[in-house]
Amino acid sequence: MGSGLLGGLLAMMAALAALPALAADSAVVFMYHRFGDGRYPSTNITLEQFEAHIRELTSGAYTVWPLARIVAHVRDGQPLPDRTVGISIDDAYLSVYTEAWPRLKAAGLPFTLFVSTDHADGKQGGGYMTWDQIRELSRAGVTIGHHTASHLHMPDADDARLRDEITQATARYEAELGLRPELFAYPYGEASLAVERLVRQAGFIGAFGQHSGAMGPQDDPHYLPRFALNEHYGDMDRFRLAANTIDLPATDLTPEDHLVTDANPPAVGFTVTPPMKGLGNITCYASGQGKVAATVLGDTRVEVRMTQAFPQGRTRVNCTLPAGQGRWYWLGRQFYVPH
């Protein structure tokens, strides 16, 4: 989330009258990569920031659940405690073992570690956890999630390659850990309808992208949002804002596919159900473009229009609406333009 979006949200919190918040039937999942490794600020969180996050999550204001439990509630439409939060870590960098794991264990916070098996096998350089270290975490109750074998750009691959990536990695989890992961995370958060279909067919109960927002019962369990945290977007104002967001209940999303192959920029739209008071206060942003035009049609339909084509790679679109008491409804989408 860019500084313009954060600044705009903080300003609107002070300027807009509070709107009644929906009963919380949503959850927020955070995503980390590296810990205390300042060489990579875009994927690193400082230890001071991380310890502040842990203090906030253990303050009594939140319910921190394992991801599988959150996904099951979202999938089955079961109620969730207000301010339900999940923790995920991608890529199994060594600092997860040396820095994050001891702190999370001491705090009693559950988390899911998404592992690309080629990393653990030492096929893509150093700096990653070994299978012995991953096995130690798994035996201690840490959930291990599927993250493909080679951490590829999935929308760029054909079905045969994608199936091979999934089956090859699954075989390695079974051989090294004696388990088949139930949860999946798309490398880089990149997906398409074709990719999601294969992940669903592989039997995963839930899969995660890297688009911001809270999740709720109307969301596709095979493309769930997460708030990415790093040095730039890991301060406590942003963390609390994200942790307190509420799912914006949207259906009839257009375009349906996250892969942009034809119209660029795509005509983005969604229907908010049930109708929400104050929907005209919705604000939308696109990465690299800042605030973009959002038009409310009738009581429930929102159409978002960009003036610039999306570049190759990833572009995120975020729409937010004040929910009262300093909280926000949030819907995020991530699109992918092939290289």
Which CA distances in Å does 317 have to 73, 155, 164, 283, 285? 26, 18, 31, 11, 6
Segment 2-30 shows an average pLDDT of 57
Quote the distance between the C-alpha of residue 215 and its chain's center: 9
Q: Confidence band (pLDDT; 50, 70, 90) for 23?
A: very low
Q: Confidence band (pLDDT; 50, 70, 90) for 13?
A: very low
Q: Confidence band (pLDDT; 50, 70, 90) for 194?
A: very high
**pLDDT computed for residue 218 by the predictor:** 92
Encoded tokens for 47: 């230890």
pLDDT at 19 over 50: no
- What pLDDT digit, counting tens, does each position of 147-162 carry? 999 999 999 999 999 9
Asked if residues 301 and 271 have their Cβ atoms less than 8 Å apart, the reply is yes
For domain 23-246, the CATH architecture is Alpha-Beta Barrel (3.20)
Asked if residues 241 and 209 have their Cβ atoms less than 8 Å apart, the reply is no
The number of CA neighbours under 13 Å toward the Cβ of 109 is 30
Distance linking the first and last C-alpha atoms of the chain: 23
Domain boundaries, the chain: 23-246, 252-337
pLDDT at 17 over 60: no
The mean pLDDT value of the chain amounts to 94
Can you tell me which residue has the tokens 């705009």?
Answer: 8
- What pLDDT digit, counting tens, does each position of 30-60 carry? 999 999 999 999 999 999 999 999 999 999 9
Burial string for 285-319 (b: 16+ CB within 10 Å, else e) reads bbbebeebebeeeeebebebebeeebeeebbbbbb
**pLDDT computed for residue 9 by the predictor:** 55
What letter would DSSP give residue 17?
P
**Residues found in the chain:** 339
**pLDDT computed for residue 177 by the predictor:** 99
d(CA 166, CA 117): 10
Amino acid at 235: D
For domain 252-337, the CATH architecture is Sandwich (2.60)
Q: Is the peptide bond before 265 cis (omega within 30 degrees of 0)?
A: yes
**pLDDT computed for residue 6 by the predictor:** 55
